[in-house]
């Protein structure tokens, strides 16, 4: 099978799994235990924490709180920081952020949603107009998971803090971490990341935070993660996360360059009489979203599966809905939304796979068009 749904999840890295195996078989101890085995695992956790943070920030200024996933990290930031006044985000956020903001209304905080552009980036002027002296939190996704559009979070965070220095700035970095060059500045307070998007395991994520910022506990119990997220740590998953992140960061520039070429190669081979491009040219090299306008994307998805290509129809977290909420917010019409297909790549994607996928995508669209008239 040709796997082109890496924005949904990635195949775990064989190298990361092999390096982390010791935490399943030998060093399986509870890191909270007081004997030497527990102490040794606790030291490895501290090292993993530092290494993961160093991928995007200075460990002297930032630290990581390990979570079960990016969704939990997003929720932790929102419900810890948005406790008064209003909170501002974009209409193009992942469901983990959007639904959290919707829930804020039930907790006495006013959610405000800034519009997005056709490509999926936030309208900066509109976003800033929603920030006032009562804003407690602003959250903007780094890479739009539906289109691959990239928001300049360093610039946005600075502009937000200039308008309201007390506002906390968070970004969902799940589709950016380990994929594009990221360096958090002093204006970004929180940044959510996930392991299974970069060759790690499902069930592991982290909320990276500036050390000077306040975070309230989200899960209570034994006081792990500095009292911010109780529960025995997933040491194997965290180790896999660290090793996968190191692997991706080491080859980041080369992979980005190669996949940007693959993205354009795929688009260049698609039949324009069927497909319209929704992803921006300056977006993430890992995502190409198109639409077979007037056709049904989920039907094409099944046809492609039968032909040996795994491809998405948008965010897996929104797959039960008829249309993508994010793409609707971008302003695309119903016929375009019906035909959405999202191809997303990994460092393991090959040129031969891209060429074959383009051939099969064109064939599927042609056959479906002939069938439906």
Whether residue 55 has pLDDT greater than 90: yes
pLDDT-derived band at 317 (thresholds 50, 70, 90) equals low
Please compute the mean of the pLDDT values over residues 41-70 and round it to a whole number.
Answer: 97
What pLDDT score does 372 carry?
82
What pLDDT score does 117 carry?
97
Tokens representing 336 are 């375009």
What pLDDT score does 361 carry?
98
What pLDDT score does 275 carry?
98
Can you give the pTM of this predicted structure? 0.95
What pLDDT score does 319 carry?
53
Question: pLDDT tens digit string along 82-91?
Answer: 999 999 999 9
What pLDDT score does 320 carry?
58
Half-sphere exposure of 110 (CA within 13 A, CB side): 8
SS3 letters across 136-194: EEEECCCECCCCCCECCHHHHHHHHHHHCCCCEEEEECCCCCCCCCCCCCCCCCEEEEE
What pLDDT score does 323 carry?
87
Contact 13, 199 (CB under 8 A): yes
The catalytic site residues sit at 317
Please compute the mean of the pLDDT values over residues 102-108 and round it to a whole number.
Answer: 97
Q: Please provide residue 342's backbone torsions phi and psi, each rounded to the nearest 5 degrees.
A: -120, 115
SS3 letters across 55-83: CCCCCCCEEEEEECCHHHHHHHHHHHHCC
For the chain, the average pLDDT equals: 96
Whether residue 318 has pLDDT greater than 60: no
pLDDT-derived band at 373 (thresholds 50, 70, 90) equals low
Please compute the mean of the pLDDT values over residues 156-169 and round it to a whole number.
Answer: 98
Tokens representing 138 are 């602003």
Please compute the mean of the pLDDT values over residues 320-335 and round it to a whole number.
Answer: 89
Please compute the mean of the pLDDT values over residues 63-71 and round it to a whole number.
Answer: 97
pLDDT-derived band at 322 (thresholds 50, 70, 90) equals confident
Give the whole-angstrom CA distance, residue 254 versus residue 248.
10
Give the whole-angstrom CA distance, residue 327 versus residue 148.
12
What pLDDT score does 227 carry?
87
């Amino acid at each position: 099978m040709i796997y082109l749904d890496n924005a949904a999840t990635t195949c775990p890295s064989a190298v990361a799994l092999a390096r982390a195996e010791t935490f399943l078989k030998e060093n399986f101890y509870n890191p909270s235990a007081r004997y030497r085995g527990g102490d040794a695992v606790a030291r490895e956790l501290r090292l993993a924490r530092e290494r993961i943070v160093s991928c995007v920030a200075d460990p002297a200024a930032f630290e990581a709180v390990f979570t079960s996933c990016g969704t939990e990290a997003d929720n932790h930031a929102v419900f810890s920081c948005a406790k008064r006044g209003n909170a501002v985000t974009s209409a193009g956020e992942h469901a983990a952020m959007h639904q959290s903001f919707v829930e804020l209304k039930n907790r006495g905080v006013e959610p405000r949603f800034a519009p997005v552009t056709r490509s999926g980036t936030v309208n900066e002027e509109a976003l800033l107009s929603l920030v006032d002296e009562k804003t407690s939190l602003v959250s903007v996704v780094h890479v739009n998971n539906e289109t691959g559009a990239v928001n300049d979070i360093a610039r946005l965070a600075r502009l937000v803090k200039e308008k309201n220095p007390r506002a906390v700035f968070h970004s969902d970095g799940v589709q950016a971490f380990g994929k594009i060059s990221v360096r958090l500045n002093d204006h970004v307070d929180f940044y959510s990341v996930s392991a299974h998007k970069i060759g790690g395991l499902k069930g592991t994520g982290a909320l990276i935070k500036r050390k000077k910022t306040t975070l309230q506990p989200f899960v209570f119990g034994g006081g792990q993660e500095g009292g911010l997220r109780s529960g025995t740590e997933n040491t194997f998953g965290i180790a896999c996360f660290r090793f996968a992140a190191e692997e991706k960061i080491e080859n980041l520039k080369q992979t980005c360059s190669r996949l940007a070429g693959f993205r354009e190669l795929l688009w260049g081979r698609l039949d324009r009489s069927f497909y319209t491009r929704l992803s921006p040219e300056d977006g993430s090299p890992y995502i190409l979203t198109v639409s077979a306008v007037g056709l049904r994307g989920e039907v094409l998805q099944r046809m492609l599966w039968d032909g040996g290509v795994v491809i998405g129809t948008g965010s897996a977290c929104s797959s039960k809905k008829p249309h993508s909420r994010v793409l609707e917010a971008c302003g695309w019409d119903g016929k375009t939304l019906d035909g959405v297909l999202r191809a997303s790549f990994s460092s393991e994607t090959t040129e031969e796979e891209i060429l074959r996928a383009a051939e099969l995508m064109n064939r599927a669209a042609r056959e479906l068009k002939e069938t439906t008239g």
